[in-house]
């Protein structure tokens, strides 16, 4: 079984400033940990690539892309939280393109153990016509549209376990019955959306707001009782995960109580779903996670579960 990652040093180039939580150091810590533990040598490394214009316009409006390119090539802000530097545009475009490359790897590239894209900036708060919440381009949306278009798959499921609701992803797909979106998130919390009553135009959304303090048991129970049955009913051809690690008990941007073992447990369940219903087609994309050590350890656990080593 082949489990792959996509990483490139270009992902360190986006720099929103020394005090911003979405810093290059979070990704450096992940790669250092994978190297030091020997896990990196056991994974297949695939090349990053920039997104093609058509892959971006399948999700984002032309006007927004033009504005984002200008700000992300010269420095500026999309909102108070989303600060860009001179390298932000090419970094974000490569993150989005690498998400598509991961879809290609699991559909046509012989990767049968899933592919994790270790990129930044994150994406799930980016709407079709605006960025927000540290996010410039919606990586999981770009990948999903490519899966259903370029790669000819019929149905997709997106599971978002970032501690913040993926409001951009939900808005992009709320009227697309081919895409089932699931979000488990702290509530109340930023961005304030994701009520359980938000089910989408075609009942293609499952929002699971969880109270502060929720940990491994609450998340795994939600998976077993709600997420897994919903994914089975949708019967997707590919599963994509907005894999945020800011629900970890050590993370400074949440009040949740997940551990590295909890993330591995969710990954084990997603992997089994992908193997059973999707021919093993599984893509994970890094979203949040702002405690470098906790995020690195949790991603190592995720990768081991993808490799079938979770116990």
Catalytic annotation, residues: 125
Residues 113, 306 contacting (CB under 8 angstroms) = yes
The DSSP letter of residue 9 is G
CA distances from 32 to 11, 85, 116, 137 (A): 14, 24, 16, 26
Local structure of 158: helix, strand or coil: strand
User: Residue 308 phi/psi, 5° resolution?
Assistant: 85, 20
- What letters, b where the CB count within 10 A reaches 16 and e where it falls short, cover 261-295? ebbbbbbbbbbebbbebbebbbbbbbbbbbbbebb
To which H or E segment does residue 228 belong?
helix 228-234
**Residue 228 to residue 127: CA distance in whole angstroms:** 27
Rg from Cα positions in the chain: 17
Q: Which of 196, 88, 106 is nearest to 151 (CA)?
A: 106
Residues 87, 12 contacting (CB under 8 angstroms) = no
Tally Cβ neighbours within 10 Å of residue 65: 18
User: Residue 183 phi/psi, 5° resolution?
Assistant: -130, 125
**Residue 120 to residue 244: CA distance in whole angstroms:** 11
26: Cα within 13 Å, side-chain hemisphere: 30
Local structure of 248: helix, strand or coil: strand
């Amino acid at each position: 079984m082949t489990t792959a990652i996509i990483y490139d040093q270009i992902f360190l180039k986006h720099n929103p400033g020394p005090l911003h939580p979405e810093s290059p150091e979070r990704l450096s810590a992940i790669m250092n940990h994978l190297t030091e533990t020997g896990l990196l040598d056991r994974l297949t490394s695939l090349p990053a690539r920039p997104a093609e214009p058509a892959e971006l316009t399948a999700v984002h409006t032309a006007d927004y892309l033009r504005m984002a390119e200008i700000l992300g090539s010269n420095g500026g802000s999309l909102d108070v939280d989303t600060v860009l530097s001179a390298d932000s545009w090419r970094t974000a475009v490569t993150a989005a393109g690498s998400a598509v490359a991961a879809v290609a790897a699991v559909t046509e590239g012989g990767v049968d153990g899933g592919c994790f894209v270790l990129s930044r900036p994150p994406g799930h708060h980016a709407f079709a016509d605006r960025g927000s919440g540290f996010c410039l381009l919606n990586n999981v949306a770009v990948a999903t549209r490519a899966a259903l278009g370029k790669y000819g798959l019929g149905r997709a499921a997106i599971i978002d376990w970032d501690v913040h609701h993926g409001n951009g992803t939900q808005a992009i797909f709320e009227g697309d019955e081919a895409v089932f979106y699931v979000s488990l998130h702290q509530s109340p919390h930023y961005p304030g959306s994701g009520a359980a009553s938000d089910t989408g135009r075609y009942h293609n959304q499952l929002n699971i707001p969880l109270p502060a303090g929720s940990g491994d048991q609450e998340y795994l129970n939600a998976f077993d009782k709600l997420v897994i049955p919903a994914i089975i009913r949708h019967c997707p051809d590919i599963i994509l995960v907005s894999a945020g690690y800011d629900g970890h008990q050590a993370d400074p941007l949440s009040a949740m109580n997940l551990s590295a073992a909890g993330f591995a447990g969710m990954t084990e369940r997603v992997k089994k779903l992908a193997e059973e219903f999707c021919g093993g087609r599984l893509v994970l994309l890094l979203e949040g996670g702002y405690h470098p050590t906790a995020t690195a350890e949790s991603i190592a656990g995720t990768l081991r579960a993808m490799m079938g080593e979770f116990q």
